[in-house]
A and B are shown apart, each in its own frame.
Chain A
Amino acid sequence: MARLDLEFAAQPLPREAEALRAEVRGFLAQEREAGTFEPTCDCWLHHDVGLTRRIAQRGWIGLTWPERYGGGGRSILERFVVTEELLAAGAPVGAHWVADRQSGPLFLKFGTEEQKSFFLPRITRGECFFAIGLSEPGSGSDLASVRTRAVRSDGFWCLNGTKIWSSGAHRAHYMIVLCRTEPAGEDRHAGLSQLAVDLSAPGVTIRPIYNLAGEHHFNEVVFEDVEVPDERVVGGVGAGWRQVTSELAFERSGPERYMSIYPLFVELIRRIGPEPGAATASELGRLAARLFTLRQMSLSVNGRLQAGFSPDLEAALVKDVGTRFERDVPEAARMLAPFDGDGRAEAPFPSLLADALLHAPSFTLRGGTNEILRGLIARGLGLR
Chain B
Amino acid sequence: MSEMRDMLLDSARRIFADYCAPAKVIRVEQGEWPAELWQALESTGLPLMLVPESLGGSGLDWADALALLRLSGRYSTPVPLGETLLAADLLARAGITPPAGPLSVAPACPGDLPRLGNGDGPVLSATLQRVPWGRYAAGIAAVVRDGDGRRVVLVDPAHGVIEEGVNLAGEPRDGISFERAPVRFGELLPEADVSFLLRMYGALVRAAQMTGAMDRALELAVAYAGEREQFGRPIGRFQAIQQQLAVMTGDVAASSAALEAAGERLGREGAWFFAAVACARIAEAAGPAASVAHQVHGAMGFTYEHSLHLSTRRLWSWREEFGSEREWGERIGRSLAARGADALWPLLTETETGDTQPPPG
Which A residues fall within an 8 A CB radius of B? 2, 4, 6, 8-10, 12, 18, 21, 84, 88, 265-267, 269-270, 272-276, 278, 280-286, 288-297, 300, 314, 317, 320-321, 324, 371, 373-375, 377-378, 381-384
Within 8 A of A (CB), among B5-55: none
CA distance in complex: A346, B261 (Å):
38
Q: Is the CB of A269 within 8 A of B246?
A: no
Which residues of B, 262-305, contact A by the 8 Å Cβ criterion?
A: 263-264, 274, 276-278, 280-281, 284
In the assembled complex, which residues on chain A have CB atoms less than 8 Å from the CB atom of B284?
286, 289-290
Q: How far is the CA of A275 from the CA of B253 in the complex (A)?
A: 33
- What is the distance, in angstroms, from B284's C-beta to the closest C-beta of chain A? 6
Helix, strand, loop or mixed for chain B's interface?
helix
Contacts of B251 in A (CB 8 A): 321
B329-342: CB near A (< 8 Å → 1, else 0) gives 11111111110111
> B171 interface residue, CB < 8 Å from A?
no
> Cα distance A297–B277 when bound, in Å?
13
Query: Which of the residues B242, B247, B333 comes within 8 Å of A276, measured between beta carbons?
Result: B333
Whole-angstrom distance between the Cβ of A15 and the nearest chain B Cβ: 12
In angstroms, how far is the closest chain B Cβ from the Cβ of A205?
37
- The answer on a CB contact under 8 Å between B218 and A285 is no
B261 near A266: Cβ-Cβ < 8 Å: no
Question: Shortest beta-carbon distance, A260 to chain B, in Å?
Answer: 15
The answer to whether B226 and A297 have CB atoms under 8 Å apart is no
A21 touches B242 (CB 8 A): no
Q: B250 within 8 Å of A by Cβ?
A: yes
**A295-B348, A381-B245 are contacts. A10–B333 as well, Cβ < 8 Å?**
no
- B89 in the interface (beta carbon within 8 A): no
Tell me which residues from 222 to 237 in chain B have a Cβ below 8 Å from any Cβ of chain A: 222, 225-226, 236-237
Nearest CB to that of A383 among chain B residues? B236
- Of the candidates A276, A321, A324, the one whose C-beta lies within 8 Å of that of B334 is A276
Cα A285 to Cα B338 in complex, Å, equals 12
The residue that B219 contacts in the complex, of A4, A296, A300, with Cβ under 8 A, is A4
Q: Which residues of A sit under 8 angstroms from B278, Cβ to Cβ?
A: 289, 293
Is the pair B258, A296 in contact by a Cβ cutoff of 8 Å? yes
Residues in B whose Cβ lies below 8 Å from that of A292: 258, 261, 274, 277, 281, 348
Contacts A10-B263, A285-B333 given; does A293 touch B254 at CB 8 Å? yes
Using Cβ atoms and an 8 Å threshold, which residues of chain B touch A321? Answer: 250-251, 253-254
List, sorted by A's number, 22 A–B pairs whose CB atoms are closer than 8 Å: A4-B222, A6-B253, A8-B253, A272-B337, A274-B337, A275-B337, A276-B333, A278-B330, A281-B332, A282-B327, A282-B333, A285-B276, A288-B277, A289-B258, A291-B348, A292-B258, A293-B258, A293-B281, A297-B257, A321-B254, A381-B249, A383-B241
**Does B351 sit at the interface, judged by CB under 8 A?**
yes
Main secondary structure on A side of the interface with B: helix
Nearest chain B CB to A257 CB, angstrom units: 12
Of B237, B249, B263, B332, chain A has the most CB atoms within 10 Å of the CB of: B249
Q: Would you call B245 and A283 a contact (CB within 8 A)?
A: no
* B133 contacts chain A at the CB level, 8 A cutoff: no
Interface residue? B328 (CB, 8 A):
yes
Given contacts A21-B349, A294-B254, A378-B243, contact A317 B249 (CB under 8 A): yes
With the chains together, A317 CA to B276 CA distance in Å? 23
In this assembly, does B215 line the interface, its C-beta being within 8 Å of a C-beta of chain A?
yes
In the complex, the chain A residue whose C-beta lies closest to that of B223 is: A2
**Does B174 touch A at the CB level, under 8 Å?**
no
Which residues of B sit under 8 angstroms from A276, Cβ to Cβ?
A: 333-334, 337
B260 interface residue (CB < 8 Å to A): yes
Judge if B1 is at the interface, Cβ distance under 8 Å: yes
B258/A314 in contact, CB under 8 A:
no
Q: Does residue B184 face the partner (Cβ distance < 8 Å to A)?
A: no
**Quick check: B253 and A317 within 8 Å, CB to CB?**
yes
Let me know if B64 is at the binding interface, CB within 8 A.
Answer: no
Q: How far is the CB of A77 from chain B (nearest CB, A)?
A: 13
Residue of A nearest to B328 (CB): A285
- A10→B265 CA distance, assembly (Å): 10
Q: Does any Cβ of A come within 8 Å of B195's Cβ? A: no
Of B245, B281, B334, the residue contacting A378 (CB under 8 A) is: B245
* Chain B contacts for A272, CB-based, 8 A: 337
State in angstroms the CA–CA spacing of A374 and B245 once bound together: 8
Q: Are B341 and A267 in contact (CB under 8 A)?
A: yes
Cβ contact within 8 Å between A371 and B243:
yes
